[in-house]
């Protein structure tokens, strides 16, 4: 099995395994106790804290250990908001933050706080000035990830940090995907990370709080971890996490260059090998080991299953592989294709031969998933399409009074059908109208709002906009209107 999903979790680093075994013998006692075994555990914990702080560019007393990266985010967001409540209750974050940030924001809003969301471009990147323009006098915290977990795009954290500093607003930086691989930006007020992303054991998160940043734990008081994180710390796991972080960072420059070249190979060749595919994320300012692409007319869950049977473990941000049946909020915010999404994230040590084997089997697997559709896709595929930057809003077709359709159109009823079926139905039926004719796709799947415009761009058809489904005889959902150009 070729494991290509380190963005979810990395295999345990050999150094982590060695350190964990040793620490189980030497660091099992309570580090808060004064007897010999307790003092030994405390020494190991202090050394691990110093190691992590050194790699992340922090002081040891600014670093606390949590039970996970998610808990670090929750404590960081809610603790900073509580600590700055005299300033106000406004929280600002980007549209592509990890779900842990979104859930903390939801809780804050439900408690009476205010939340603003900064948009991103089609590469998944915020514009620093636009982000800063959403800061208010009442903003208690801003949140911006260093690197996106789904598409790998790096954010302009240093620039945003300077603007936040000028406004007197603390900035929380989620470095879960970049810690250990890249230098951590220096302008953060709070920092979060997760050990299992860099090859440490699961169950260790990192919360950094700069000296002087107002912070008040949102949980009941506890004397451990400087009052920021309650509960007994897992000293052996923390020791292993610190050892693996130091080892990974020491070899990162050489390994990053090698993985970057392998990812470049995937980015270039997938659009050549697979028809109707969109490679997403920033092609330049990105993580070195991660690439994401989306395939038209493909159920992402089915494709991931086929890749698994072929010996490749990959993941997806597609709505089709999610139990929520809603599009990935990251892909939706970018305005890119959501169906048939595949995220490849290469672990340290990945061989070029494994990537070549992936590229060799992928076209056949995608073709096999699409083959029953009988769509007659062109070969070879076009190169990665350049699509207009989102942000101008979704076009809306003017609907006259009454129940009459806006224009005479072929109505394709895809109500009740999930991604990618609405797009598949559109592709099958558009040939029934002459050039200049229109098709109205009735759909109630959220992904259709993203995928039908993307299909029009990739197939060089005109997306006219959306209208209430009732204007075309539907009883729910929306009508997505497409004009055939060729």
- Distance, in Å, from the CA atom of 297 to the CA atom of 367, rounded to the nearest integer, reads 10
Do the Cβ atoms of 82 and 216 come closer than 8 Å? Answer: yes
Would you tell me how many other CB atoms lie within 10 Å of the CB of residue 45? 23
Task: Indicate if 456 belongs to the active site.
Answer: no
SS3 string, 200-265, reads: CCCCCEEEEECCCCCCCCCCCCCCHHHHCCCCCCCHHHHHHHHHHHHHHHHCHHHHHHHHHHHHHH
Pairing, β 139-145 against β 90-94: parallel
Beta bridge mates, 304? none
Q: Which of 295, 320, 419, 456 is catalytic?
A: 320
Local structure of 40: helix, strand or coil: helix
Distance CA 20, CA 13 (A): 11
Q: How many CA atoms lie within 13 A of 63 on its CB side?
A: 24
Q: Is 441 helix (H, G, I), strand (E, B) or coil?
A: strand
d(CA 107, CA 461): 42
Sheet holding 277-280, edge to edge: 277-280, 290-295, 341-345
Tokens of 38: 């307790």
Contact 71, 190 (CB under 8 A): no
d(CA 206, CA 188) in angstroms, rounded, equals 14
Angle (CA) 59-101-79 rounded to 5° is: 50
Whether 278 contacts 384, CB under 8 Å: yes
H helices, E strands: number in the chain: 13, 16
Rounded Cα distance, 467 and 376, in Å: 30
Ramachandran class of 279: left when φ > 0, alpha when ψ lies in -120 to 50, beta otherwise: beta
To 5 degrees, how large is the angle CA 205–CA 207–CA 211?
160
DSSP 469: G
Instruction: Name the residues annotated as catalytic.
Output: 320
């Amino acid at each position: 099995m070729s494991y290509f999903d380190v963005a979810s979790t990395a295999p345990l680093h050999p150094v982590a395994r060695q350190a964990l075994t040793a620490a189980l013998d030497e660091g099992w006692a309570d580090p808060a106790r004064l007897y010999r075994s307790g003092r030994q555990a405390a020494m190991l914990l202090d050394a691990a804290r110093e190691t992590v702080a050194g790699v992340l560019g922090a002081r040891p007393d600014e670093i606390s250990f949590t039970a996970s990266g998610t808990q670090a985010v929750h404590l960081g967001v809610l603790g900073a908001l509580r600590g700055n409540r005299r300033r106000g209750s406004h929280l600002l974050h980007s549209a592509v933050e990890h779900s842990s940030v979104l859930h903390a924001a939801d809780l804050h809003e439900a408690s009476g706080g205010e939340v603003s969301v900064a948009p991103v471009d089609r590469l998944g990147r915020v514009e620093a000035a636009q982000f800063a323009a959403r800061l208010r006098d009442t903003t208690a915290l801003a949140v911006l990830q260093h690197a996106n977990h789904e598409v790998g795009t790096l954010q302009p954290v240093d620039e945003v940090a300077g603007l936040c500093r000028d406004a007197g607003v603390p900035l929380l930086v989620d470095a879960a995907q970049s810690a250990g691989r890249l230098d951590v930006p220096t302008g953060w007020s709070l920092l979060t990370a997760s050990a299992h992303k860099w090859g440490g054991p699961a169950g260790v998160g990192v919360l950094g709080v700069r000296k002087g940043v107002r912070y008040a734990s949102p949980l009941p008081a506890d004397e451990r971890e400087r009052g920021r994180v309650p509960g007994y710390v897992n000293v052996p796991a923390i020791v292993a996490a610190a050892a693996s972080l130091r080892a990974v960072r020491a070899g990162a420059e050489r390994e990053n260059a090698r993985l970057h070249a392998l990812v470049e190979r995937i980015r270039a060749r997938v659009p050549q090998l697979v028809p109707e595919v969109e490679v997403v994320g920033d092609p330049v300012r990105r993580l070195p080991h991660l690439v994401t692409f989306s395939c038209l007319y493909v159920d992402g869950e089915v494709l991931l299953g086929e890749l698994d049977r072929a010996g490749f473990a990959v993941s997806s941000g597609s709505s089709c592989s999610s139990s929520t049946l809603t599009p990935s909020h990251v892909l939706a915010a970018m305005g890119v294709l959501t169906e048939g999404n595949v995220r490849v994230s290469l672990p340290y040590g990945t061989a070029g031969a494994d990537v070549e084997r992936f590229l060799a089997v992928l076209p056949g697997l995608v073709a096999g998933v699409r083959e029953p559709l009988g769509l007659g896709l062109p070969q070879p595929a076009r190169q990665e399409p350049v699509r207009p930057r989102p942000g101008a809003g979704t076009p809306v077709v003017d609907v006259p009074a009454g129940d009459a359709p806006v224009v005479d159109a072929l109505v394709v009823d895809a109500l009740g059908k999930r991604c990618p079926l609405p797009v598949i139905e559109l592709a099958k039926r558009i040939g029934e109208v002459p050039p200049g004719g229109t098709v109205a796709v009735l759909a109630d799947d959220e992904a259709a709002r993203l995928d039908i415009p993307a299909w029009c761009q990739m197939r060089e058809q005109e997306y006219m906009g959306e209208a209430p489904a009732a204007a075309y005889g539907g009883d729910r959902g929306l009508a997505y209107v497409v004009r055939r150009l060729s």
